[in-house]
Structures are given as structure tokens and as C-alpha cells.
Amino acid sequence: MRRLVILAEGHFSVQGAKTAVGVLRFSSDETVAVIDSEHAGADVATVLASPGLGEGIPVVASITDALPFHPTSLLIGIAPIGGRLPDVWRPTIVRALEEGLEVISGLHIFLGEDHELRAAAERGGGRIWDVRQPPAAVAMHIGEGRPHRPGSHTIYFAGTDCNVGKMTAALVIERGARDRGWDAAFAATGQTGIMIAGAGVPVDRLISDFTSGGVEAMVSELAEQHAWVFVEGQGSLGHPAYAPVTLGLVHGAAPDAFILCHEAGREFVHGFPEFRIASLPTVMSMYTSAASWLGRTTPFVGVALNTYGMPDDAARAAIAETATSLGLPTTDPVRYGADVLLDALSDALI
Amino acid sequence: MRRLVILAEGHFSVQGAKTAVGVLRFSSDETVAVIDSEHAGADVATVLASPGLGEGIPVVASITDALPFHPTSLLIGIAPIGGRLPDVWRPTIVRALEEGLEVISGLHIFLGEDHELRAAAERGGGRIWDVRQPPAAVAMHIGEGRPHRPGSHTIYFAGTDCNVGKMTAALVIERGARDRGWDAAFAATGQTGIMIAGAGVPVDRLISDFTSGGVEAMVSELAEQHAWVFVEGQGSLGHPAYAPVTLGLVHGAAPDAFILCHEAGREFVHGFPEFRIASLPTVMSMYTSAASWLGRTTPFVGVALNTYGMPDDAARAAIAETATSLGLPTTDPVRYGADVLLDALSDALI
């Protein structure tokens, strides 16, 4: 079991530190401290304003202040602009490696290829886990389009955009399924999901020729072992930059059903203000079309609507409106639990 | 200008050595010899049974026999099973590097990362061009979905499968356009195309997150400089393994029009006998749907039908039938010239 210190310098909040918050919420590893000098002295629950999440976990100003809590690992919990390693983070990472800690990074740039960091790891006995380095077993796997084990159910969380809550919905529903006694697995496909699950395939980092194949290798293996496989979605088929990643997931995961994931009120593609997100029925038709290209008929069975930040009555109204307009069971599983969607899956697939 | 010796050991034929034949047909570099011990002593034109292609170019048994023709470069003209470097090729490549030749490779495995080959290059002064290594300028470019320069015309060659003649059609049409005095460029997107053009983006090797972006960087730059950009297509949107590569091309190239590329009589996906290729109208709807996901309306303006190996009357009948059933100008540009499709482009876009 790891004891994590999470680096979130200057950005520790629910919206600003997606990886940090995801790990705090879902990882089975214990978090012993969070680094953000702007909030040093507070506890995590206070900073996030989320009672029950991070109560008693201290926010500290530096790696030095975190060491007394005996961490085993420094986890980089924020994404830098442009994917490079900011110089200001270097001393923290060097110090962690010199102290013998594991450093867990989801950056596109691999810390294990950085001479200064490797030298620090050798000096101190630390090690580097570059989460976005594809596992060798899937890195050059060519897709075959094979059907899954009969009796298994694979569900893909199909987004209208990046950062709408696909991973969170998948994790909440996987947990709810296990609570019902279903044999369920979460297939992690992005850096935060892999940090939480401890394994997975960083799909956005696969070589494009092997995108479908790498996903297929992971998901078909999970479908051999489990009755339910909940596949974390990435991006959107309507995304101006990342749609090929999404298509590799849709084709490689070969889902039996989709759950639509949307953030209530989101109108434009995150970071691409000239691109309006299509209507929900149009987005759904993108996914069902893409599945049909390989001869598959894949229904939508429900909607996970992210209502973060909305008052309760507005959230319930948005959910009701979406359910009515699409004719699909809809909820915000983070706020209101997974039952609506688990019932929908059970009705559609069992 | 290079003087090429092409390695095609054991596989020199029109169907077995796609890269070798593409380079022979379209490269402005001179080929001085082809290595295939099974045909040593013949000339290229005889082996390929293609009068006018390779007349007088000798086929030799080994790199030793090729050296008297003063090559500057050894080009690997066949694809190994599985993308690895076969051990049996090693002595040939080592010898070329020791003799100071450039070695041009389109393999997924980079020769420049092989210690034995690097040592040979250092000993002999040879150098390695790994064509599939993405150029640094495009390797991590995030797609923006920007429109092209007004007045430019970008055409994407949309395949029903791998290996149906997309690159050849694009090259023949680009040449025909130049013969008409159009300001035309060929955008190479695969290893053979890049070897022929001397530059391009190996799209199947891009990191999946940057597939659309890498293509966009190349194509939008060409559209700044040229009136017509003919973009080599890859794979198919209905391909069980490679559809994400194709989608990155469709989104990144942002074409003004598609030309459909199909091999007459092909019924199943190459190498995937359980996957039947969809009807041509269905394949066309995949491409127009994918373009529409980014809000684009992209028409098909013609069909390049590959009739290789068919008798003339059967080829003409297949072309007429396709033209009638799809209602689109159709020809085999390799056999019958590019005029039908250039006229169609001119009618639709000028």
C-alpha cells in the first residue's frame, strides 16, 4: 500500500486539480498530505469544500513539510500547461527521489527519460512511474475486432467532451455494481484512472496504429475475467483534436452498451470556443455510427449528467429534462448514487 | 539526388513489394539496382511485367553485387511480418552502413535505435533515415480545427480498405494536375509516400492524442502555399484496427472534397477475413459522417477504382457500373489517366 503525498502547487481545488481530487476520492492508497503553499495549514476537506473528502489530511507548503508524514510516493496531481515539466516543480521531484520516494507522473513527457531526475533517483533510491508509458504487452497490439466472452457486459462511458465526468461516473458505477455483488471491473484509460486503479492503458499515448488494438487487449482480457467491465471514456467523437483517441476506445472496447456522459450546461468544447458541442441526440448518433462501422449495434442505456456546482433543485430539473428529452434513465451518479444507471444496465443487458 | 538500391529480397513483385514499386514508379530519385536473389540477373521491367517501369535497372543477389552501381542509399522496399527487423536483413544493412550509404527504413522499429546498426554507421560513415519517426515540428501538435486558406482546395483520398491504391491515385492525380498547370502538392502520410515525396507525416506512428494535430500542421501549411493539396489516405473508417488513424486524417486534413478509392472486387478487409467491406454508399456515409462531427460538409466528387490485373473490358465495365450506381465520375487513374477526376474536381471546386 502506498502512502501518497500529492503535488498540487498553486492549483488545489475541485476544478483545478482533477487528478489530485480523483485520487483522493477513489484510490485505495492513503493520501498523507497535499502540497499547495497557497493553502498550507488547512486540511483537504476545507480547501475542497467537500465534507467527507479529505478530512484531517493536511495541506502543506513543500515536500520538506510532507516528509514527517512518512509518504512512500509523490504523485503529481495537476497538469502543467503544454504537458512539459515546469522548472518550478523540479526541486520538489528531485528531493522526493533523493529521499527514496516513488514519483508517480501522468505527464506526456516521461520523467524516466530526464537525466537530472534519473540521477536523483539513483542517489536516493527513489523510482519513477511514468503512468503514460504504455505497457509493453499492449503498446504494439494490432486490433482484431474479436467479440468478447459471451455472458460478459462491457459498458463504455461516452462523453460529449473532455472533462465532463466520464471517469468519475465509471468509478461510481463500478463501485455501486460491486456493492450489489456484481463481478465488476474498471478499465482505466487515462492517467488519473490508471493512478487510481494501479493499472490500465494510457490510450492518448498509444501509437495511432495501435490505438484500437491496445484498448482491445486490455478490455477483452478484463471481459474474460469479469461479468461487467466499465470502460473509462476519453474525449468525444466531436472533439476537434482528440476524436481519434475516442474512436480507438469505441472500436477497441467493443462495448455492449453506452452510457452518455455530459456536463449540464456545457455548450462549447473545453478549450475550443469556436466549437459548439452538438445536441445530445447528435452526439449519441456519432457513437452509434462509429460502432456500426464495424457492424456493431450498440445502444445507449442511460445518461450520467454532471451537475457539479448546481443547486439541488436545478440539478434535479436538469436531470428530469434530459431523461424526458432523450427517453433514457438519467442521473448524476456522484450526487444521487448509481442505482438509476445500474437498474438501467440490469434491465437492458441481463 | 539519391541513387537508390532497393532491398526487396524474396518478395519483388507488384503485389509483394508495394514500397519498392511505389518508389520505382514515382520517386524523382534514380534507382540503380534492386536486391532479390530469386530474380538476380533479370531487369526490373521483366520481373514486374510492367513495360516502361524499370527497364534496364538490374536485379542483383546482394548488397555486394549492388555496390558497383554506386548507390548513395539502401531503401528497404518490403515490409516484414510484424514490423520487426528480420535477422536475415541485418548483414545487408550493416554492410550498407559500413560502406557509407544512407539506409532508408519505414519500419515501425527504428533502425537508429539499434546499437549494432548505429555502430556500423559510425564505422562507415553511413546514416539512417527512419521515415516513420514523426518530424519534431508535428509530433506533439494539438489539433485546432482551423479552416484552410480561402481559395485553397484540399482533397482526401478516402479508402474502403488498406492497400487499395490511395497513394498511387493521389500521386497520379497530383501529377496530372501539375501537367494542367495547377499549383498542386502531394501530402505524404505513410512511409512509402514519404520516401517518394522526401517529406511528410507518418500518421500511423503519431501519438494518438496528436493524430489530428500532426496532420493539420502539415496540410494547413501546404494549403498556405499551394492551390491544390492532395492528401494520401490511410486505411478506412471501417477498418477493425486502423480506423483511428483514418479519422485523424479526415479531421486533421479538413478536406474540401473526398475521392473514394476502392479496389474492384475486394470484398473483405485485407488480412481480416471476418470483416466484410461495407457497400460503397455506406463507406461514403462513414466519411461524410465523420467530417460532419466537426460541423463540416464534405462531398465525394469522384471515384478512383483500382482495376489492377483485370482485362481491359472487365475494367471498363467495372468503372461504368460504379459510375452509374454512385452517380460519380469514376476511373482507374493508373490505367486511364487522371483527366476524369481532374475534370470532376474542377467542376466541383473551381
**CB < 8 Å to B244, chain A:** 208, 211-212, 244-245, 247-248, 251
pLDDT at B159 over 90: yes
**CB < 8 Å to A295, chain B:** 275-276
> CB distance from A113 to chain B under 8 Å?
no
One domain, residues B205 and B313: yes
Per-residue confidence band for B139, with pLDDT thresholds at 50, 70 and 90? confident
Picking from A208, A212, A240, the nearest residue to B143 by CB comes out as A240
Which CATH number does the domain housing residue A150 bear?
Answer: 3.40.50.300
**CB < 8 Å to B79, chain A:** none
* pLDDT per residue as tens digits for the range A102-136: 999 999 889 999 999 999 999 999 999 999 999 98
* pLDDT per residue as tens digits for the range B168-199: 999 999 999 999 999 999 999 999 999 999 99
* pLDDT per residue as tens digits for the range B41-51: 999 999 999 88
* pLDDT per residue as tens digits for the range A142-199: 999 999 999 999 999 999 999 999 999 999 999 999 999 999 999 999 999 999 999 9
Contact A209 B207 (CB under 8 A): no
Per-residue confidence band for A51, with pLDDT thresholds at 50, 70 and 90? confident
Which CATH number does the domain housing residue B109 bear?
Answer: 3.40.50.720
pLDDT at B81 over 80: no
How many Å apart are CA A16 and CA A5, to the nearest integer? 17
Per-residue confidence band for B79, with pLDDT thresholds at 50, 70 and 90? confident
> Which of A83, A101, A130 is a domain's end point?
A130
Comparing alpha-carbon positions, the chain A residue that sits nearest to B250 is A244
Residue from B177, B178, B169, B247 nearest B206 by CA: B247
* pLDDT per residue as tens digits for the range A80-109: 776 678 899 999 999 999 999 999 999 988
> CB distance from B22 to chain A under 8 Å?
no
How many Å apart are CA B33 and CA B43, to the nearest integer? 9
One domain, residues A340 and A247: yes
Q: Residue A125 class from Cβ within 10 Å (0-12 exposed, 13-18 middle, 19+ buried)?
A: exposed
> CB distance from A106 to chain B under 8 Å?
no
Window 329-348 of B: residues touching A by CB (8 A cutoff) are: none
One domain, residues A292 and A316: yes
* pLDDT per residue as tens digits for the range B88-97: 999 999 999 9
> CB distance from A203 to chain B under 8 Å?
yes
Minimum mean pLDDT range among A18-22, A78-82, B20-24, B215-219: A78-82
Q: Which pLDDT score, from 0 to 100, does residue B83 have? A: 67
pLDDT at B160 over 80: yes
One domain, residues B13 and B56: yes
> CB distance from A251 to chain B under 8 Å?
yes
Residue from B310, B283, B289, B296 nearest B253 by CA: B296
> CB distance from B108 to chain A under 8 Å?
yes
Smallest CA–CA separation between A170 and chain B, in Å?
22
* Kind plus residue range of the DSSP H or E element containing A261: strand A257-263
One domain, residues A85 and A151: no
Contact A242 B209 (CB under 8 A): yes
Contact A275 B108 (CB under 8 A): no
Q: What residues contact residue A97 under an 8 Å CB cut-off, 6+ apart?
A: A103, A117, A120, A121, A123, A124, A126, A127, A128
One domain, residues B67 and B213: no
One domain, residues A159 and A55: no
**CB < 8 Å to B247, chain A:** 243-244, 247
Q: Which pLDDT score, from 0 to 100, does residue A82 have? A: 67
Block residue for cell numbers 457539479: A308
Strand pairing report for B102-105 and B127-130: parallel
DSSP codes of every residue in B48-107 = HT-TTSSTTPBEESSHHHHGGG--SEEEE-SPPGGGS--GGGHHHHHHHHHTT-EEEE--
Contact B144 A295 (CB under 8 A): no
Among A138, A208, A249, most B C-beta atoms within 10 A, so best to mutate, is A208
Picking from A243, A251, A276, the nearest residue to B251 by CB comes out as A243
One domain, residues B152 and B122: no
How many Å apart are CA A25 and CA A6, to the nearest integer? 13
Q: What is the separation of C-alpha B292 from the centre of its chain, rounded to a whole number of angstroms?
A: 26
One domain, residues A121 and A265: no
Comparing alpha-carbon positions, the chain A residue that sits nearest to B273 is A144
> Which of A130, A165, A195 is a domain's end point?
A130
Smallest CA–CA separation between A8 and chain B, in Å?
24
Residue range A279-288: mean pLDDT, rounded: 98
pLDDT at B212 over 80: yes
**Number of folded domains in chain B?**
2
Q: Which pLDDT score, from 0 to 100, does residue B84 have? A: 78
> CB distance from B204 to chain A under 8 Å?
yes
Smallest CA–CA separation between A144 and chain B, in Å?
6
As a whole-number percent, the residues of chain A with pLDDT over 90 amount to: 92
The torsion of the CA quartet A286, A154, A187, B211, rounded to 10 degrees, works out to -30
Q: Which pLDDT score, from 0 to 100, does residue B252 have? A: 98
Per-residue confidence band for B72, with pLDDT thresholds at 50, 70 and 90? very high
**CB < 8 Å to A286, chain B:** 289, 293
> Which of A107, A130, A153 is a domain's end point?
A130
Contact B212 A244 (CB under 8 A): yes
Write out the residue range of the structural domain in which residue A70 sits: 3-130
One domain, residues A89 and A222: no
Smallest CA–CA separation between B46 and chain A, in Å?
35
pLDDT at B123 over 90: yes
Comparing alpha-carbon positions, the chain A residue that sits nearest to B293 is A238
> CB distance from A109 to chain B under 8 Å?
no
Contact B294 A238 (CB under 8 A): yes
One domain, residues A104 and A173: no
One domain, residues B221 and B302: yes
Contact A293 B247 (CB under 8 A): no
